[in-house]
Amino acid sequence: MSKEIETQHNFNRSDNEPFSSVLARHVSRRDIMRGGLSLAALGMLSGIGGLNLANAQENGARKTPLALAFESLRGSRTDAVVVPEGYTAQVLIPWGTPLDEQGPAWHRKQEMTAEAQAHCVGMHHDGMHAFPLSEQHASRDFLLALNNEYIDQDALWAPRGGPTNPDSGQRPPDEVRTEINAHGVTIVRVRKQEDGSWLHVVGDAHNRRFTSATPMDLAGPVAGSDYVRTRYSPDGTRTRGTNNNCANGFTPWGTYLTCEENWPEVFVNRGELNIDDRRLGLPTDRGRYGWETAAGDADERDDEFARFDVTPRGNGPRDDYRNETRTFGYVVEVDPYDGQSRAVKRTALGRFRHEGCWPGKVVPGEPLVFYSGHDSRNEYIYKFVSAKHWDPAHASRPGATEDRLALGDRYLDEGTLYVARFNADGSGEWLPLEPSTLLADGRTLAQALSLAEGDRAGIIVHTCDAADLLGATPMDRPEWGTVDPVSGEVYMTLTNNSQRTSAHSEPTYTNGGDAIDASGVGYATAPTDAANPRADNESGQILRWRERGDDATRFDWEVFVFGAAADDTTNLSGLTERNQFASPDGLWYDARDDGQGILWIETDNGYDGVAEQTNDQVLAVVPGALSHDSGQASVVGAGNQQQLKRFAVGPNGCEVTGIFATPDKTALFINIQHPGNWPADPDAATQDATHATADSVRPRAATVVIQKDDGGQVGV
């Protein structure tokens, strides 16, 4: 997400414990070890050495320790992708690429229409995942599921000199429909050719788009409740569209999870805001793109534009769209294998600005776990634990015909949603968002939120407010997570936080600090704490945690690495010119042999200290090869810089996001989002991503495939 659409507001107004006091209670690692924590906690806090031991015990003897076999790149600020020597980078499926015969062939002056956009790759690629069609060809022929997070109106409407009435006045219906269709999800089959290059398969039966207008189902606690009845769906079981799909996830049964992040801004409410709409930051004047202004046009069908204005107008929810926003803010499940299936919003996983949703370690006979973060300043980290235990007979079988969404019903609609509290001593707690959870003052969570006892739908609709009341830790904007599938350790990026103040300051609240009985309260600013220890945090950090054995409510955490410019006084991980980075965002644990793996880090940086040296980038680190230097503020420190390397740099203006490698590890797929002047050839679909643009082009977000010239595994 670019700063163009990220929320600049802070909607958390809670009066949770100020972390000035938590910090005061912070004890050093040495003190913790003297105190005799559990073996698991010790392993965690003594750093990677302890974790290595655990992995080695699980996996038997090691062969060769994994090492990154490329030279860390210098910074780059060009209109080109840069990769290490011996690698190629190819552009694949840029915005506007036709998916079938109804999609027009792209050319630089193409006038996009709603119909054309519905048959072409959407805009601003973000999270993505691969779904193989067979075990045998899993690394060369698969379905790519891809989020199209938001739009660049200037690029979209370049042939007509820009959008019509972007900031005031009525938007033309055809432009609104086109913009709606440029958002959402693209499913497209891609295939490796004999010469090693990649193409997409035009007209494959799996190819399809989900847009911000596609009919979808609601499932889980909120489905069918009074909270989501609308004129479109009087029984509250359906909605239209998914929006601002940022990061993603996947399930062990072979479905894609796409997550709704900065969706509140496409709506507007000119009346009195609900508590939850206020908390999530709904506009009160005009939606981000003014889609609601096309309402009432003679050409409007089924309130397709009116639904973006959620101001109550009728006698009740069935007469208008006052509840439309409560059908957004979810994790959405898609079955990429079934080209006819509907998308399902899984409300049990909470309602907020979801960055993404990542499965924890999958263990037969145990509940499934999914981690998720709310990407706004001083918001929270969550996990969902399924009520049903995992049956390995349900594991995805490429090519098999089965009702995968019925498995989604089984594992994703019932369970417990928790929010995280990070204690200063390196321990953490998962706090259950159950209606019956007791607060310190003796009330239940339902009572404190003025909900009926047992109103699970109400808790989900008010997820953030419920989390406030439980005393969750406000974080520095949680972005991507990823899980080491062997050890189960979880990594999560905290990208930055301009509203983090010094340890000595008092928190501030959007409501001015008054206690609110009927809702949560939320931070406007929060003082530094152990997990978010830098004031005015411009460069972000990555946390790592491990669940504590059989207790679903306890974990142990540490800071893995701090972003910084090399010459910053707050360069707590000792970064150098060759690996300085800021605003970590995308993250992927790439499991290799022997329980080892590479942690890939992608950036979405707006911090000048680093931006003046390099564009956004992809870094690699082998956690298992690091040794924790006691006394260091983070696992990556001054003594192990050679283990954190810059692998790729994106073109000017972009962020780098979305990431996975093929199962054989010979191709790394990334996305270049909102480039300023790239790719170099304005007409070609596939092309060399490393060619620098000569003049000025209509920019197109695209997937980039990075491969080694010798066909070997990427990174090693």
Q: Which residues bind ligand FEO (CB under 6 A)?
A: 1, 149, 246, 261, 355, 375, 479
Q: At its nearest, how many Å lie between ligand FEO and the CB of residue 114?
A: 24
Closest approach, Cβ 673 to ligand FEO, in A, equals: 9
Tokens describing residue 82 = 């840069």
Q: Which is nearer to ligand FEO, 5 or 622 (CB)?
A: 5
Please give the Cα distance from 13 to 526 (Å, whole number): 10
The item of ligand FEO, Ca ion, none sharing an interface with residue 149, based on CB under 5 to 8 Å by kind, is ligand FEO
Which of 209, 460, 604, 613: binder of Ca ion (CB under 5 A)?
Answer: 604
In the list ligand FEO, Ca ion, none, the entry touching 602 (Cβ below 5 to 8 angstroms by class) is none
Give the count of residues interacting with Ca ion (CB under 5 A): 7
- Name the minimum Å distance from CB 375 to ligand FEO: 4
The one-character DSSP state at 415 is E
DSSP for 497-533, written as a single string? BTTEE-TTSPPEETTTT---SSS--BEEEEE--SSS-
By beta-carbon proximity to ligand FEO, the closer residue of 247 and 460 is 247
Beta strand spans in 12-162 (E): 87-92, 125-132, 141-148
Q: Is there binding between residue 602 and Ca ion (CB under 5 A)?
A: no
Return the range that interacts with Ca ion (CB under 5 A); candidates 30-38, 191-199, 241-249, 706-714: 241-249
Q: How far is CA 449 from CA 236, 437, 515, in A?
A: 22, 12, 13
Q: Which does 429 bind (CB under 5 to 8 A by kind): Ca ion, ligand FEO, none?
A: none
Smallest distance, Å, CB 657 to Ca ion?
6
CB of 459 to ligand FEO, least distance (A): 24
Quick one: 258 or 274, whose CB is closer to ligand FEO?
258
Which one, 10 or 230, has the nearer CB to Ca ion? 10
Identify whether the C-beta of residue 677 lies closer than 8 Å to the C-beta of residue 110. no
Which entry of ligand FEO, Ca ion, none binds 261, CB below 5 to 8 A by partner kind? ligand FEO
| Cβ closest to Ca ion, residue 7 vs residue 323 | 7
Question: Using CA atoms, how far apart are residues 421 and 177, in angstroms rounded to an integer?
Answer: 42
CB of 497 to ligand FEO, least distance (A): 12
Question: Using CA atoms, how far apart are residues 153 and 167, in angstroms rounded to an integer?
Answer: 12
Q: What are phi and psi of 154, to 5 degrees?
A: -65, -40
Spatial distance between the Cα atoms of 418 and 434, rounded to a whole number of angstroms = 9
What is the Cα–Cα distance from 651 to 502, expressed in whole angstroms? 35
What is the C-alpha separation between 564 and 656, in angstroms, rounded?
18
- Is 243 in a helix, a strand, or coil? coil
Beta bridge partners of 60: none
204 binds, among ligand FEO, Ca ion, none (CB under 5 to 8 A by kind): none
| 581 touches 603 (CB < 8 A) | yes
Pairing between β-strand 475-476 and β-strand 208-210 as defined by DSSP bridges = unpaired
Indicate the residue among 55 and 605 with the shorter CB distance to Ca ion. Answer: 605
- Helix (H) or strand (E) holding 179, with range, is helix 173-182
655 binds Ca ion (CB under 5 A): yes
Q: What's the closest the beta carbon of residue 376 comes to ligand FEO, in angstroms? A: 9
Binding mask 549-588 for Ca ion (x = CB under 5 A): ------------------------------------x---
Kindly write out the interface string for residues 477-506 of this chain, putting x where it contacts Ca ion by CB under 5 A and - elsewhere.
Answer: --x---------------------------
CA distance 77 to 614: 6
Q: How far apart are CB 409 and ligand FEO at their closest, in Å?
A: 28
484 binds, among Ca ion, ligand FEO, none (CB under 5 to 8 A by kind): none
Q: Which is nearer to ligand FEO, 261 or 465 (CB)?
A: 261
Q: How far does Cα 221 stand from its chain's mean position? A: 23
- Give me the amino acid identity at 372: S
Output the CA torsion sign for 699, 703, 707, 713: positive
2, interface contact from Ca ion, ligand FEO, none, CB < 5-8 Å by kind: Ca ion
Q: Mapping DSSP to helix (H, G, I), strand (E, B) and coil, where does residue 378 land?
A: strand
Residue at 327: amino acid letter: T
Smallest distance, Ca ion to C-beta of residue 247, A: 6
CB within 8 Å of 342: residues ≥ 6 apart:
215, 216, 217, 405
Of the two residues 29 and 124, which places its CB atom closer to ligand FEO in the complex? Answer: 124
Q: What is the DSSP string of 586-626?
A: EEEEEE-GGG-EEEEEEE----HHHHTT--SEEEEE-GGG-
**Cα separation, 349 vs 341, whole angstroms:** 21
User: Contact with Ca ion (CB under 5 A): which of 2, 311, 423, 641?
Assistant: 2
Token reading at 411 = 């594992």
Looking at beta carbons, which residue is closest to ligand FEO?
Answer: 1
**Spatial separation of the C-alpha atoms in residues 661 and 707, rounded to whole Å:** 10
The least distance separating ligand FEO from the CB of residue 12, rounded to whole angstroms, comes to 16
State the nearest-atom distance from the C-beta of 479 to Ca ion, in Å: 5
Q: Is 590 in the site for Ca ion (CB under 5 A)?
A: no
Cβ nearer to ligand FEO, comparing 261 with 547: 261
Cis peptide before 84 (omega within 30 of 0): no
655 binds, among Ca ion, ligand FEO, none (CB under 5 to 8 A by kind): Ca ion
Helix and strand element counts for the chain (H, E): 13, 34
Nearer to Ca ion, 265 or 585 (CB): 585
Q: How far is the CB of 352 from ligand FEO (least distance, A)?
A: 12
The listed partner (ligand FEO, Ca ion, none) that binds 434, CB under 5 to 8 Å by sort, is none
Q: Pick what 475 binds: ligand FEO, Ca ion, none; C-beta below 5 to 8 Å, kind-dependent.
A: none
Report in angstroms how near the CB of residue 674 gets to ligand FEO at its nearest: 11
Residues near Ca ion (CB under 5 A) are: 1-2, 246, 479, 585, 604, 655
